[in-house]
Every structure is written in C-alpha cells, then in structure tokens.
Amino acid sequence: MAAFLRLDGIGAEALTGDEVFSRDLALSPWPEFFEKAKADLVHPPGYYLLLKLFLSPGEHSALAGRALSLLSGVGLVAAVALWGWRERRLLFPATVAALLVAVNETQIFYSQQTRSYALYALLVWAIASLFGRRARALERSVWPLAVLAVGAVYVHYVAGVYLAGLGAAALLGLWGKAPARRFLQAGAITVALFLPWVWLAIGVYQDKGGLEDNLGWAGVASLYDLASIYARYAGLPPVNRGVTIAVALSGAFVAYALWSLAKRRGEERLFELEAAAILAIVPPLLLFLASRRPEMVGIFGVRHLLPSQAFWAITAAYGLAAAVEDVRRRAPALAPAAAAAGLAILLSLPSFEEWALAGQTRRLPYDAVANYVAAHADAAPVYSANAHSIGLPVEYYAHGRFVTHRSPAELATAPERLLLIYRPDAPAEKEVFESLAARGWGVCSAEAFPAGPDENYAPVAATMAKSCATP
C-alpha cells in the first residue's frame, strides 16, 4: 500500500525548483559537484552524493531522481512495522503506526520529491531502533550508532537536533550507563567526521550572510504553526477546526502513552518507545523555540521535522493500545468497543486529508507553465522573477524550446515586450512584477495556473509590454 500510494500519480507531478537543483547538482562533474554542494548553505552534501551515485550520467527521467526518496519512504513504513515483529508488545502499535505513516499525505509528498527529507526520516528512525530490546545493540558496539549518526547529519543538519534529544536523555541516565557511554563515544566520532565539512562550508556561510539571511523568509513560528505540525502528524490538513480536532484526539492518545510508559518498571520498560516519545515531542518544541525571538533561526517547518511524524504515530497508537488494555481490565465487555472506537479515530484522521483535497491539483504545475510559455515564446522573450523557484523547473520542462532570462540585471534592462513567469503570492517575485508595472509595462495577457491547497505560490505567466500600459 505504501508503494502504491507513493507511485500513484507521481508521473503527473511536476518537478519543483528544489528538485531540479538536486538533479543538476548530482549530475555535475565531480569538481563542480563539490563546489555546488559547498555553496548550498542550508543542506549538507550527503544526499546529493547518494543521488549522484544513484543516477546514471545524462539521466533525464524525473522518476529516476525520485527513486531514492521513494525507496526511503517505503522503507520507513517497513521499518516502523518491523518494531512490532521484533517486540511482540508493540505489534499492534507498530502495525497501526505503519499504516498511518503509509497513508500520511506529508510522508507521501516527500517520498515523491528529489530531496533529502524521506531519507533523513528513515535514518532518524533507524537510530531510534537501536533502543530495541532494551538497547542491546548499543551495549554491544558504538559503531551502528556512530555510522547512522554521521550519515544522518550529512543528509540533513536538523538530524543533530534529534541526536541531541536522545543524547540528553541518555546522559541523564534514562536508559542506564551503556547508552550514555555510547552516545558520548558516537558524539565524539560524529563531531570529528563532520568538522571537515563545517570547515569547508564556513566560508560560504560567511559570504552568504549566515542562516538569518538565507532562512529569514521562514518568519516567526506561531503556536498555530506548532499545532499545525502535530495536525499533519495525525494526517489532518490545516483546514477549519481540523488542527484542533487532530491535536486534541491524537494528543490525548500520546498523553495516555506517556502516562502508561511512566508506570512501567524494570523488564516491562520499552526503551524504543520511550525514545520514540521523546523524538515525537522534543525536536518540534526545540525548533519552535529556536524560531522565536531573540534566536529567530528559521528552520521550523514540517519538512525539517518529518521524522517526528512516525514517532508521533507509534506513540499515539501505543496510547490507544494502553487505554484499551486498561479498559479490558476494568470492564472487559467494553474493550472491543473501545478498541474499535479508538482505532476508527486514529485511522479516520488521514481520510479528512483526502476529503479536503478531493478533485484538486496538489502540486505546482510547472510543466503546464512551460507548455504555455513555449506556445508564446516567439512573441516575447521569457523572464523569470525567481531563478531557482520558478525559473529552474520551467526551464527543465522547456526541453530547449525557449531560453529563460533570469538575472536581475536583465530585468533591469527589460525589452519593450516580455513574458514574465512569477508567483504573485511570493513577495520578492511580486515586487519584480510591480517594479515593471511602475516603470511602464502593462499586462497584455496573463494565464494563471492553479496549484494544490498545500501550495501557497501558484504560478502566473504574464505577457507585458509598454504598449499595454493603461494611461
């Protein structure tokens, strides 16, 4: 089911600017590859390196570029289910959680993208899996944790937040001496192996003005944004009252799970589920606080916190199982009804997503933009208001049918007549349009391309000329 949902309709989904950038970087010759990877301030090179090894030279298939994420997304579902087969007490929670991850729209979205997030989520889950069977893997050797930790931070910087959350709990003695010792050792290995990359990238960081200049567009996260993250974990989009419903229902199960875990002692404890509960709650809160004043680090977002969705799902599913077990002890006759009701609540939440999106385009139709522009490019040169976000994907789907002029300098000396592709809801791109309008260019004709409800920036292709300006 996970594979079907991720493959269904993927061929109709246009590549985004970030995806085209990832492909171009991965297909670059080795010297150029390292320079481009170093210049990408907000992402480490691990995913690009794996993608480069994954793609054959000259590969043009969009599906080939997305295959690594598809495998990672399906692999995550399998890895979640595996917890139930390894620990029989988690069979029900792990099966339900695997189902919730399989049908979660956010997980499906990033499993269909030529980006690092699906692989990043899988690696973080693998790290938490080391706590299975009372952390015996951590007792035997440091290397599984060290290898996964190094791989995770080289795929995504925010993996460090997840490692810090687990490491802090381990060092506080939550799981005994062996995990604490292993996290210290693995932390030292990870820092030693990651410092060379930091040393190479620090110059780019300084030249580009640091994280604030490059992530400032993310803004300050609100409490509603935080609640929306947890709503998406449950599978509910941010529709009217949907956030409140999702957080209240799934949050109640998570709270019951925490209460139940706190009561377990000795051999009854489930180390991996304790780790899952920490990673479901702590990283989102840390990134939320980091995005607030005075820190203002704009890394709070569902993609950076994608690993927490699976942890939230299994914690909520365990809370349901614990609640049903408590009902069974006190009122055996009510247990089947309680199980059915709770399961219906958890599994029905994602159906709201499908209902809300029914019949609507879900992504940005850059392929349609390219086809429209190709039909009108002979009449006017083509300009893009943003080289990366709209210029790259439209150029990718142009297949050489037209040339897209992208530099601000070219816009400053724009011709009498041009075709501008931009996204009106993106402030910087709207400024380009308004600047041209202020300098005497009017709109002769325009075509808007509807995007899905999860996308904020629907593209527009506007033919502009001074002869079309209104008096």
Eight-class DSSP state of 216: G
Quote the distance between the C-alpha of residue 109 and its chain's center: 8
pLDDT of residue 133 exceeding 90: no
The CA distance from 301 to 310, in Å, is: 16
Q: In 10 A of CB 395, how many CB atoms?
A: 24
Mean of all residue pLDDT scores within the chain:
87
Count H helices and E strands in the chain, helices first: 22, 5
- Residue 169 CB partners (closer than 8 Å, separation 6+): 175, 274, 275, 278
pLDDT above 90 covers what percent of the chain?
A: 56
Contact between 292 and 283 (Cβ < 8 Å): no
pLDDT of residue 427 exceeding 80: yes
Range name among 127-136, 191-200, 343-352, 417-426 with the lowest pLDDT average: 343-352
Residues linked to residue 404 through DSSP beta bridges, in sequence order? 382
Q: How deeply is 115 buried, as exposed, middle or buried, from its count of CB atoms within 10 A (0-12, 13-18, 19+)?
A: buried
Quote the distance between the C-alpha of residue 448 and its chain's center: 27
pLDDT above 70 covers what percent of the chain?
A: 87
pTM of the predicted protein model: 0.90
- Mean per-residue pLDDT for 48-77? 91
Confidence of residue 116 (pLDDT cuts 50, 70, 90): very high
Position 358 scores a pLDDT of: 42
Who wins on pLDDT, 99 or 240?
99
CA-to-CA separations, 292 to 217, 286, 296, 302, in angstroms, rounded: 14, 10, 5, 16
- Residue 172 CB partners (closer than 8 Å, separation 6+): none
Contact between 378 and 464 (Cβ < 8 Å): no
- Mean per-residue pLDDT for 388-402? 90
pLDDT of residue 356 exceeding 50: no
Who wins on pLDDT, 59 or 85?
85
- Mean per-residue pLDDT for 82-108? 91
